[in-house]
A and B are shown apart, each in its own frame.
Chain A
Amino acid sequence: MKRRHIYLIAKKEIAGLSSEKTIVFAILLQVFIAMFSSFLMVGLTAMYDPEAIEGYSTVTYRVGYAGAESPLIDEFGERDDLILYRMDLGAALAALRERMVSAVVYVPQTPPDAEGPITVTLYLIQNDLQSGVVNVKIKEVLQGYEEQLRETRADRLIYSPVELNFPDSGGGESFFEFVYGLLIPLLVFLPAIVSAALIIDLITEEYQRQTLETLLSTPIMFTEVIWGKIAACEVLVPVQAGAWLILLWLNGIPVDNATAILLHVSTSGLVLILLGALVALHYRERTSAQFIFSTALVVALLFVMAVPYNPLNLVVRLAVDSIGPIHWYVLALVAAATALLGWAITHYARRVGEKTP
């Protein structure tokens, strides 16, 4: 194989990509994903920390209270964002239906030190964002009441958990795990997946458009064609991933160990690209190749994620700088697998190339 031939093919493919503006779509795609991550962020915050959604509201909510007297009234009294009204249950529910109150609480006549539980009924409006916010506010009130009741009944408890004293936290750090534990690995590995899909198109296109014969009539060998295409796809991986890291940094999300991360992404990306090339060489027809490859990709990703110290996890750990030199061993392992795959591709391509006239 001549390096110059490989270089020529790679250059041709990259020129094709930029002239077709497909790369623009690739970038748009990734920007779009980054954009809706801000959307996911709120969803995830709600999952990690429903209290965070409370911050979206500064309104005072009215709550109807029905049933027996209880210390719960005092708990409500301590909140300045909730106003409690003593009401008849029927009237309170009617008011709730007309949205004159945001929630209704019904407290039964059970004494605080009773044998059984106290079952408070909480009425909320269905299908409503406001209910979510009120829900969170009332939750805090009810937790305070629960605390009181637990103290009243403390002498009936026998186990004592390990006590931990927490410092006063600033709170609201729910984004950290999302950004570093999910968004960053997603963003840096996306170019690898995109490139793997790309190699399939590049190879099958030669077959389906019957342009391969023309290409092979030049002094370039089939293996060189394949490796040229692989090189073109591989180059895009660190470039795009690096661009992401810079963009993240500009957005105030510093990422540690950028070089190591790029090495990991490029190596894993090469594995995916080689797998894609193998599938494409085997099927030579885009529909089948893409179908098999994308199904296999799901299987492979799921498997890899289930293994400790997988490359995605290593990227997370590298990004937050909580890993020792161990990731170099994994990198060496992945690189060895890549070399093996590369050898297999060369061998396979040579055999295919000999058969192709």
Chain B
Amino acid sequence: MSLISSIRTIATWEIKRSMTTMGRGILPIAVGLLLLLVLVTAFAAESGLHLQDGMYRIGVDDPGTASIVASDTRFATYQDDAASLWENRFSYDIVIINGEVYAADTDKGRAALNTLERDYESYVASVAAAEPDLFAAYPLWIDLQYVKSEIDFLATQSGQQVGAPVETRRPPSPSLPVEEVTPPSQGRLTTEEELREHLVEAGDGQPLKRYTSLISGESATDRLLTPSELSLPLPFDTIILVFVFIFPLYFTSQFFMMSVMNERVGRAGEALLSTPLRPVAIVVGKALPYFTIMILIAAAITLLARAPLTILLPLVPVILFFLANALIIGMTSRSFKELSFVSIFFSTVATSYLFFPTVFANTHVISIVSPLTLVVIAIQGDGFTAMEYIYSTALFFATSIILFYLGIANFREEHLFSEIRLISRVVDFISTGISRNHPHFSLFLLAAFMIPFVFMAEMLTLVLFFNIPMPLSLLLLTITAAVIEEFAKSIGLYAIVRDRPGFLTPGNLLVGATVTGLGFLVGEKLLLFATLAQITESIFGSILFLSLQALWMPLLLHIAGVLITGGFLLLGGRRAYAPGIVAAGMVHSLYNLYFIGGMLL
């Protein structure tokens, strides 16, 4: 009970304090800026964004042709007579004479030609939409229906190609009983007026319309489409939508980070630490107001967007993850600029981890590594299962809890007020986790606790390399995954060597490597079976998590990796750490490549 009351005390104190430091005329200016933002957004919507204006130079001999590209600001249009156009054709990217299009034979010329073709298509479409007989201009309409596959994710796992063609002459016969299906009715699903309106809208290309319709739940499959409108779901819809949710959360976590930092700057926190309050009460109490504010902001956006409130569920682990990282960054940075750079770097990495998978929200199973995919799915009205929730959030919960624990364990005077380098401080944090009396048991636990971070880093590389052409992406994944794992495994050993150089004897190294390898394997198995079964089924997954095959081989590999790095440390001292990781990473990669080779051939 006393813990709860002290958390409450700290929380109220935190709110009061942040109100006073932020007081100095921040609020009116913030409100003013917000109003300004609304005005500027309206202005930008009115005038359009002029980023790519005049990229291409186009010469035309006829005002009718000029009108085709008139609305596309990417073209700087010059009108001239045919003869002089031809004479100066090299100063243009595209020249149109008598309806013949000539493009410069450069990358730019070809890009301009592509753009022109698209403009021409939409011009033709806009002319056709005005036809009195709409169904002569648009005779074919597509009714797009999505079918949920019974074996949903599990079959598309190979990432790029699916279904080896078996029998090509006879139609495939399904194994499950076939249900009688009534053919779709041919009564007009939509009236002619609506279709015409739809065409005008599509030609208009109002980008905002897409987002509003996505939120209001009006799905594209309700309407008929022309064949040219059939296309992949655009990735940017979901990205922008999700950005609305993430940006305020990221911003609020910055305040928490700064509040932690402020405890250290000017040693304001010293008084706090001298009170009988326990570090856990201080950290949780400080974090609580920010957590609450973030949840409230997310809920407010959800309500405003009239989206289902279930999207708050996947946001909770994201918020915790942001706060946990803010705590660690605030505790470890030496100066403001370090804080800025590290936090910007962290947020870029975290944002890309969260966002990029959602680009594939409707296309690929990889997308599930990001909780934000669940947000997108929920907004689209599909909902997500409890299993999917665990799949995509477990890593976030696990890493947040470990980071919070690390932060609380180190929330002590000697760690908060010393001016040491960021990396040394992080190593310090880790070495507090290594018990002096039971170093081997600590190494075992440390290796196991590293697993969520390793998986997260590997997921990030997966996300980054996912769309590089196949053999290369697999190779890159193999190598980076190996280096990440070797780094994570050896960090505990490194921390010990730094504190107690005498610890590292050949015997201790052997035992240390064995327990680390074992801990790694145990952590891997626990988390893998619990969460990532889906992704491990894919070819990308099988490369990251090769170790599922047999138990003794990965165990030996893990131990060997630590032994190599440890050997380098033993012989060359701490300077040899980086070469040691490279060497261990190489061995690890070769092992993995050998198995992929065996698997693919």
Contact = CB atoms under 8 A, between A and B. Distances in A.
B323 to A, nearest CB: 16
Interface residues of B, number: 149
Interface in A91-111: 91, 93-102, 104, 106, 108-110
A154 interface: yes
A146 B142 CA distance: 11
A28 interface: yes
B87 interface: no
B147 A126 contact: yes
Given A98-B151, A313-B52, A122 B143 contact: yes
A178 B24 CA distance: 43
8 contacts: A20-B334, A25-B338, A90-B181, A123-B145, A136-B230, A149-B139, A299-B37, A308-B47
Nearest to B347: A29
Interface stretch (B162-170, B312-320, B500-508, B511-519): B162-170
Contacts of A154: 136
Given A46-B234, A142-B227, A201-B337, A118 B140 contact: yes
Contact of B55 (A35, A163, A317): A317
Interface in B386-426: 421-422
A316 B530 CA distance: 49
B36 A146 contact: no
B40 A50 contact: no
Interface stretch (A4-12, A284-292, A341-349): A284-292
Contact of A129 (B49, B148, B360, B464): B360
Interface in B434-486: 463-464, 466-468
A208 B29 contact: no
Contact of A97 (B102, B150, B183, B345): B150
Contacts of B120: 164, 166
A62 interface: yes
Given A204-B336, A320-B55, A153 B231 contact: no
A122 B108 CA distance: 37
Contact of B162 (A89, A99, A116, A169): A99
A202 B93 CA distance: 47
Interface string B36-59: 110011011011111111111100
Interface stretch (B125-133, B562-570, B576-584): B125-133
A258 interface: no
Contact of B142 (A89, A104, A120): A120
A90 B177 CA distance: 10
B165 A302 contact: no
Contacts of A104: 147
Interface of A: 16-17, 20-23, 25-26, 28-29, 32-33, 35-36, 38-39, 42-43, 46-47, 49-50, 53, 56-62, 64, 66-67, 83, 85-91, 93-102, 104, 106, 108-110, 112, 115-132, 135-136, 138-139, 142-143, 145-146, 149-150, 152-154, 156-159, 161-167, 169-171, 173-174, 176-177, 180-182, 185, 194, 197-198, 201-202, 204-205, 208-210, 283, 285-288, 290-292, 295-296, 298-299, 302-303, 305-310, 312-313, 316-317, 320, 322-323
B138 interface: yes
Interface in B167-182: 168, 171-181
A98 B117 contact: no
Nearest to A166: B101
Contact of B135 (A62, A153, A285): A153
Given A25-B345, A173-B114, A208-B265, A158 B131 contact: yes
Interface in B235-293: 235-236, 239, 251, 254-255, 258-259, 262, 265-266
Interface string B144-166: 11111111110110011111010
Given A21-B421, A310-B51, 6 more contacts: A108-B186, A120-B142, A159-B131, A174-B111, A194-B344, A201-B340
A256 to B, nearest CB: 10
Contacts of B116: 166
A185 B137 CA distance: 41
Interface string B327-343: 00000001111111110
A126 B146 contact: yes
A60 to B, nearest CB: 6
Interface string B77-118: 000000000000000010010011111000110110111110
A99 B128 CA distance: 38
A47 B234 contact: yes
